[in-house]
Structure 1
Amino acid sequence: MAQSYTIYINETSLIITEPTVKVTKSYQQIESKKFSFSEFYARVKSGALNGTYVINTSNAKKLFKTIRDSLKLIEAAGGLVSNEENRYLFIFRKGKWDLPKGKLDDGEKVREAARREVEEECGIKVNKVKDKICKTWHVYEMGSKIVIKKTTWYFMSAKNQAKLVPQLEEDITEARWIAPGDFDQVRQNTYPLIKDVISVVG
């Protein structure tokens, strides 16, 4: 089965894929033979590269693993949470719409971390953690190190949670239930990573 991996660097996406996988977004092609992720990252950070880039390779898994193993790994988990009105829970953090998520505590199971982070960041009670949606990979700087964050996303439900309490100490200034028909307001001011996660519902 053909493999495809997407690495997000804020507004920029790097898709590592195999020739048989169709990429539906508009993108720029990158040659795989002399590809250096550190050089690619530096060019993205300098503003020289922006948008979606695709590397076609016969072994996407191997190239992705090489990149992942060269960086410090951080594990996180989060949720796409629906209520009884089929609205979904979003947070507004650092000037952009986002989904509740956070890092795993030592020894914590991924599913438990996803529930805890959603409850802490939005001041609600999650009734049920459902199926896994996907994993996303986000590269950024933490101090002097470049890290890769693996976030596992779950469908969740939270019923009768009228009051939302954004976690201000995590720079969350608003938490809001938004219907899929109104997702355009989110898409206009969010990250490509979040757009991809919410595409499963609208």
Structure 2
Amino acid sequence: MYTIYVGDKPIILTTNVEKETNFKAFLLKSVNIGKVVKILNTTDLNAVHLIHKNPDKLLKHFLKLLPNVVAGGGKVYNANNEVLFIFRNNKWDLPKGKIEGKESIEETAIREVEEETGVKGLKITKALPTTYHIFKRNGKHKIKITYWFEMKTKFDGKLYPQEKEGITKVEWLDDKASQKALNNSYANIKVLV
């Protein structure tokens, strides 16, 4: 099973056929993804289920429906066990960005965290779940696939929000502040924090 977000509503890729309650179900092979996005954005349904009989092909088939944008990002901890958050588009988020050239996804994640926050000395400690969400740019829907990594740093210098990327704040947040920030964040970030 996979979850792809449209805003805060999920598209669930599944092999299970269930009775529709507060969701609508479609066959993955014949679905009109534009229609699904519109349903999630304009109705009070909680989710859409896309069904395929082969669990190994769920994601592969889904990713063919729209252009893919690949990104890397980090959930960064400092020496005080605080998590690095950015504030962009009036929401709290974790730093991330698109892959460039021939860099590895790990290199992308580290570069993007550095560029968006000014934090240096990042070390990847483990991979985190990959997230998927549909967004619209220039009138076209795309699927963003973000590979996330847990990172640690001893950096305790000044934080610099990358303003040209629309980031207005960068802050280290403790557990309590992180939970509060998640009240004004994205569904796929809540999965990670």
Q: Normalised by the shorter chain, which TM-score bucket?
A: 0.7 to 0.9
- State the shift of 1:197 in Å: 1.3
Cα distance in 1 between the residues matched to 2:137 and 2:121: 30
- State the shift of 1:51 in Å: 3.6
Structure 1 residue runs of 4+, over 3 Å off? 32-36, 49-58
The aligned residue for residue 13 of structure 1 is 10
Whether the 8 Å contact between 1:6 and 1:14 is mirrored in structure 2 is: yes
Within 5 Å, give how 1:52-201 maps onto structure 2.
Answer: 52-55=47-50, 57-198=52-193
Whether the 8 Å contact between 2:73 and 2:95 is mirrored in structure 1 is: yes
Whether the 8 Å contact between 1:115 and 1:126 is mirrored in structure 2 is: no
Q: CA separation of 1:55/1:71 partners in 2, compared to 1, >3 Å: closer, same or farther? A: closer
Taking structure 2 as the reference length, the TM-score comes to: 0.88
What is the number of residues matched between the two proteins?
A: 188
Whether the 8 Å contact between 2:120 and 2:155 is mirrored in structure 1 is: no
The aligned residue for residue 41 of structure 1 is 37
Whether the 8 Å contact between 1:11 and 1:51 is mirrored in structure 2 is: no
Identity %: 34
Cα distance in 1 between the residues matched to 2:87 and 2:8: 17
The aligned residue for residue 30 of structure 1 is 24
- State the shift of 1:158 in Å: 1.5
Q: What RMSD, in angstroms, separates the aligned Cα atoms of the two structures?
A: 2.1
Whether the 8 Å contact between 1:125 and 1:161 is mirrored in structure 2 is: no
Taking structure 1 as the reference length, the TM-score comes to: 0.84
Greater displacement, 181-190 / 60-69: 60-69
Cα distance in 2 between the residues matched to 1:156 and 1:111: 10
Cα distance in 1 between the residues matched to 2:141 and 2:115: 27
Note the alpha carbon deviations across 1:15-41, whole angstroms, 9 max, x for none. 212449xxxxxx833323474322111
Cα distance in 2 between the residues matched to 1:84 and 1:182: 17
Segments of structure 2 that go 5 or more residues without pairing to the other structure are none
Cα distance in 2 between the residues matched to 1:35 and 1:160: 47
Whether the 8 Å contact between 1:11 and 1:50 is mirrored in structure 2 is: no
Cα distance in 1 between the residues matched to 2:44 and 2:32: 14
SS in 1 for 2:160: coil
SS in 1 for 2:116: helix
Segments of structure 1 that go 5 or more residues without pairing to the other structure are 21-26
Letter in 1 for 2:158: K
Cα distance in 2 between the residues matched to 1:50 and 1:101: 29
